[in-house]
Amino acid sequence: MRGWLLGNPKKRKTKGGIGRFIHAWLGKEQDKGGNARASPTSIQPGRTEELIAIAKARQGERHANPG
């Protein structure tokens, strides 16, 4: 998710929209199914909160430096 967000700056998520984005992303990944074993790219506990914190921090930077 973080890589996608960084690679698509024009599709930045709002403070209110980041939760929906994460929820939808995880739902799609879960629906894909696959192997029961954890992969190296599997989400680590607490990672969602970290991504939300990063998004909020960047949002603050954007508002602090308009234009």
53-63 pLDDT, tens digit each: 888 888 877 66
Amino acid at 8: N
Residues of the chain falling short of pLDDT 50: none
pTM score, two decimals?
0.45
User: What integer pLDDT is reported at residue 52 of this predicted model?
Assistant: 83
Calpha distance 56→27 (Å, rounded): 22
Calpha distance 1→12 (Å, rounded): 12
